[in-house]
Chains A and B, each alone.
Chain A
Amino acid sequence: MEVTSISEGIIIDHVPAGTALKVLNYLNIDPATTRLALIMNATSHQYESKDIIKIEGDVDIDLDVLGLVARQATVDVVHGGRIVEKLSPTLPEHVTNVITCVNPRCVTTIERGIKQRFHLSNSERVEYRCDYCDEEAKL
């Protein structure tokens, strides 16, 4: 399968296979209004299979959010048809208004105007917990 290269934009590579749409959702990128190419379940030497997201144009993605949902992903910044920068997301210590607490007993279910805040509780297991109720996040 061949997908035309982009001249300006970013390539998010090594996205866990089958999760590209979820990653776009977390990154708040609407595939209906963005010029992009998705390659899903491509062959990967490192991970056997992977997804790739190519986004054309001036894109600003939140590397913290990417680290949250696709820790192994890499980001290539393309300028003038060449990769000019490679970025790796890191696991953010804190995440605000990205995940929603699923605990029905959590105060976030009733308190108006409250931010959904999570903290990294175990980096090996990529485990985040709600700042308010300590419920583990469901990613």
Chain B
Amino acid sequence: MSLSAAQASSNSSPSKDFIGKSVVTLDDLTTEQIELLLRKAQYIDANRKLVSHTCDGRIIATLFYEPSTRTRLSFETAMLRLGGQVIGFAGAQLASVSKGESIADTLKTVENFVDVVAIRHPKEGAALVASHAVNIPVINAGDGGHMHPTQTLADLCTLQSRFGRINNLTVGLCGDLTFGRTVHSLIETLCRFGNVNFVLISPDELKTPQYVIDRINATDSCTYVEVKDLVSVIGDLDVLYMTRVQQERFFNEDDYLRLRDTYILDEDKMRLAKKDMAVLHPLPRVNEISVDVDGDPRAAYFEQVKNGMLMRMALECSVLGDELPGFDPDGIDAVNTKEVAA
């Protein structure tokens, strides 16, 4: 179900403005809407039974043109846990695209079947094309190396759950800062909330692009430093966001092999870190985080997966305009901390 822009904008509020909205990048959401999602995610986690029929009768299409385990399952589980159902495909070879169908035509077809679409596509900008083609909400589940907004929502949710805030933090980002879309998106979004010190840790070949640096520079309350050595700065960090050097983003195999193992987080390095530092990683990891670290309470990367599902639940019901039972979108203390019987 989609509402017209006029309907959605009447009596404007973060909650009402969500209805029918496509989320291609997080710039499509106001900071109030992101905060609303964070509160909804926390509420959902505490009230899973109560919210389990929020999206009864709804169907999401997960159109995944390239491989993904975590993200597709997360989107699908999110809808199932809200009482809705799922259709879709995983892998372009299974889809009409193998017969030459355009993204727009596929979306215009699927629009007739479902209420909301989550799309992953290897081409950058594919989700924007999809959102322009239809009148139902389209959620970008990753468009090549470009954007992955729901991963950033998962990251924000993890910071919120670990620290009770998403600002006044020193955030280290380590590894592939050139091609790492999650890193760019996280930096840009944190800049919108302000008061973050970024420590950008990468080899020269994988430094943060200038347009992301510009975004930090344009935010008076945010600062950054660029360093090559993780060990020298790890003790200053509240958050360490590790990234994988992604083979699929390199045209040159030699460059990939040379840079792959630049940073490996292990127990020795963790001993130098703060006691409450949180280690995040968008997953999948290869070997940039030693498995020895998994048992450390500061390892938050599998918690991120759960938070990703919660934020996708919050996002799916929000764009559909399905209200969570018992949740007060305007209430400061809307979050229940105890499960309420369904």
Interface of A toward B, CB cutoff 8 Å: 103, 105-114, 121-122, 129-136
Residue of B nearest to A108 (CB): B125
Known contacts A106-B123, A107-B121, A111-B102; decide if A134 and B146 are in contact (CB<8 Å). Answer: yes
Q: Which B residues are in CB contact (< 8 Å) with A110?
A: 123
Could you list 15 further interchain pairs (A-B, Cβ under 8 angstroms) beyond the known A111-B103, A133-B144, A133-B146? A105-B144, A106-B124, A107-B128, A111-B102, A111-B104, A111-B129, A113-B104, A114-B129, A122-B214, A129-B211, A131-B128, A132-B129, A133-B125, A134-B124, A134-B211
Known contacts A121-B211, A122-B214, A133-B146; decide if A107 and B124 are in contact (CB<8 Å). Answer: yes
Bound Cα distance from A123 to B143, whole angstroms: 27
B interface secondary structure, majority: mixed
- The 10 A-B pairs at the shortest CB distance, nearest first, are namely A132-B125, A133-B124, A107-B125, A107-B123, A133-B125, A107-B126, A105-B124, A105-B144, A112-B102, A106-B124
Residue of B nearest to A135 (CB): B124
Residue of A nearest to B24 (CB): A132
Q: Which B residues are in CB contact (< 8 Å) with A105?
A: 122-124, 144-145
Could you give, for residues 84-120 of chain B, a 1 whenever the CB lies within 8 Å of some chain A CB and a 0 otherwise? 0000000000000000001110000000000000000
Q: Which B residues are in CB contact (< 8 Å) with A113?
A: 102, 104
Bound Cα distance from A135 to B145, whole angstroms: 11
Known contacts A105-B144, A105-B145, A121-B211; decide if A130 and B125 are in contact (CB<8 Å). Answer: yes
A interface secondary structure, majority: loop
Bound Cα distance from A106 to B129, whole angstroms: 11
Q: Which B residues are in CB contact (< 8 Å) with A112?
A: 102
Interface of B toward A, CB cutoff 8 Å: 102-104, 121-126, 128-129, 143-146, 211, 214
Q: Which A residues are in CB contact (< 8 Å) with B125?
A: 106-108, 130-133
Q: Which B residues are in CB contact (< 8 Å) with A129?
A: 211
CB <8 Å contact, A107 and B214: no
Bound Cα distance from A133 to B121, whole angstroms: 12
B119 to chain A, nearest CB (A): 11
Bound Cα distance from A108 to B143, whole angstroms: 13
CB <8 Å contact, A103 and B102: no
A114 to chain B, nearest CB (A): 7
Q: Which B residues are in CB contact (< 8 Å) with A108?
A: 125
Bound Cα distance from A108 to B146, whole angstroms: 14
Bound Cα distance from A114 to B214, whole angstroms: 29
Bound Cα distance from A133 to B103, whole angstroms: 15
Which of A106, A108, A122, A132 neighbours the largest number of chain B CB atoms within 10 Å of its CB?
Answer: A132
Q: Can you sample 6 A-B contacts with CB below 8 Å?
A: A109-B123, A131-B125, A132-B128, A133-B124, A134-B211, A135-B124
Bound Cα distance from A24 to B192, whole angstroms: 41
Bound Cα distance from A131 to B128, whole angstroms: 9
Q: Which A residues are in CB contact (< 8 Å) with B124?
A: 103, 105-107, 132-135
Q: Which B residues are in CB contact (< 8 Å) with A109?
A: 123
Which of B102, B121, B125, B126 neighbours the largest number of chain A CB atoms within 10 Å of its CB?
Answer: B125
Bound Cα distance from A108 to B128, whole angstroms: 11
A43 to chain B, nearest CB (A): 36
A100 to chain B, nearest CB (A): 14
Which of A107, A114, A131 neighbours the largest number of chain B CB atoms within 10 Å of its CB?
Answer: A107
B211 to chain A, nearest CB (A): 7
Residue of B nearest to A122 (CB): B214
B129 in complex: contacting residue of A103, A107, A134, CB < 8 Å = A107
Bound Cα distance from A90 to B143, whole angstroms: 33
Bound Cα distance from A16 to B143, whole angstroms: 38
Bound Cα distance from A136 to B125, whole angstroms: 14
B147 to chain A, nearest CB (A): 8
Bound Cα distance from A130 to B211, whole angstroms: 13
Which of A110, A121, A129 neighbours the largest number of chain B CB atoms within 10 Å of its CB?
Answer: A110
CB <8 Å contact, A107 and B143: yes
